[in-house]
Structure 1
């Protein structure tokens, strides 16, 4: 017996809403690449900033760290990923509010894709991921302008794995954020370095899971029809 071990599972509710949103996102991922209508996935994560205390050691000895450390706030990272183009952008902030998300949308629309006819947006259903965030941050005219720049698609509840920005976040976490960072400045520098290097390699996400696959592999999630 190992009572301290816990396995965490995310069991989606098998209903028509889950299936409808899942198939909607999967259909978006099957669209052909169109630079005038880029498919852009947005998600965010955060990391605790930690100040470690190093113990003096002699030359040749392994680095020593005191077990006591100081928490120095939290850094929030917004990931803006265009999987078919092999591009991603990261923005580090100190908060993750509706206002922050609205600013990310305006940055995406006006700075990253100013010439796009329509930005096909895929995101999860977090409460701030909505057009209402734009109206909280900007005037009604500006919010309405930005809302129309996007075609909105949401992953279902307990289905955030369908947002390909999560894949980019996972890669970033493994490759660049495994060690602790003492402050926002050093953290932001590391995230920027990773983003530039990964963009230089033009790494694309080879998404293979289709609607047809879902109807077979996730058949238990589909409502039973009469």
Structure 2
């Protein structure tokens, strides 16, 4: 989740009164943004290895994947579902998977040849079902199929929508505190309610 704004409201919200909802001041100070990289365990409903930082580079994401894999070395197979963002099909991820899989092969050169040549060739390698770590990519414009998007929606509604943050560190700390709270009190597997029927004719 990128571009989470640390906005501080200049004035306090106007409280509720009979017949009036709580109202927000529209002026704010923008203290910058944070990016949240997290994984959602579909079996437990828990958020795994959340990282809040200033950047979301391919190195940041590969480090997140490494840390996630290291949470349980006994797992025989990892299935990671994500959208088609460039950092999810990066050179860093290919190198990480090749290292973990113990592959001693020529991966090629980014932009020139081999597995590293293009995003498509890298995605093909990363989604190879023979690997211990298998990446599954949602179709274009269908990232809503990834259950972490439900979590991001909860985060926005419960914390970010009406909050005021005095700094990027304040934003980061409150996001991570919310995730701890979510894992302890709200985490449960999401149940799909859509039955595959046509929504409109």
TM-score range, shorter chain: 0.5 to 0.7
Cα deviations across residues 18-46 of structure 1 (Å, max 9, x unaligned)?
Answer: xxxxxxxxxxxxxxxxxxxxxxxxxx233
Number of the residue aligned with 2:65: 105
CA distance in 2, matches of 1:133, 1:145: 11
| Corresponding residue for residue 87 of structure 2 | 128
- Is 1:186 paired with 2:170? yes
Q: Is 1:82 matched with 2:54?
A: no
Looking at structure 1, the residues matched to 26 and 138 of structure 2 have their Cα atoms a distance apart, in angstroms, of: 41
Normalising by the residue count of structure 1, what TM-score does the alignment of the two structures yield? 0.61
Counterparts of 1:109 and 1:131, CA distance in 2:
17
Quickly say closer, same or farther: Cα 1:131–1:113, change in 2 above 3 A. Answer: farther
Shift in Å, 1:153: 0.5
Secondary structure class of the residue paired with 1:180: coil
The 1:154–1:198 alpha-carbon spacing in structure 2 relative to 1, beyond 3 Å, is same
> Which structure carries more strand by proportion?
1
RMSD: 2.8
SS in 2 for 1:185: helix
Shift of 1:79: 2.4
Q: Count how many residue pairs are aligned between Structure 1 and Structure 2.
A: 160
Flag the structure with higher helix content. 1
Q: By how many angstroms is 1:114 displaced?
A: 2.7
In structure 1, what is the Cα distance between the partners aligned to 2:193 and 2:157?
A: 22
* Contact 1:79-1:169 within 8 A present in 2 as well: no
| Match status 1:145 vs 2:99 | yes
Q: Are 2:189 and 1:204 equivalent residues in the alignment?
A: yes
Aligned partners of 1:65, 1:198: CA distance in 2, in Å? 26
Matched, 1:45 2:45: no
Tell me the TM-score normalised to structure 2 length: 0.68
**Stretches of structure 2 lacking an aligned partner (at least 5 in a row):** 13-22, 101-125
Q: How does 1:15-54 map to 2 (within 5 A)?
A: 44-54=1-11
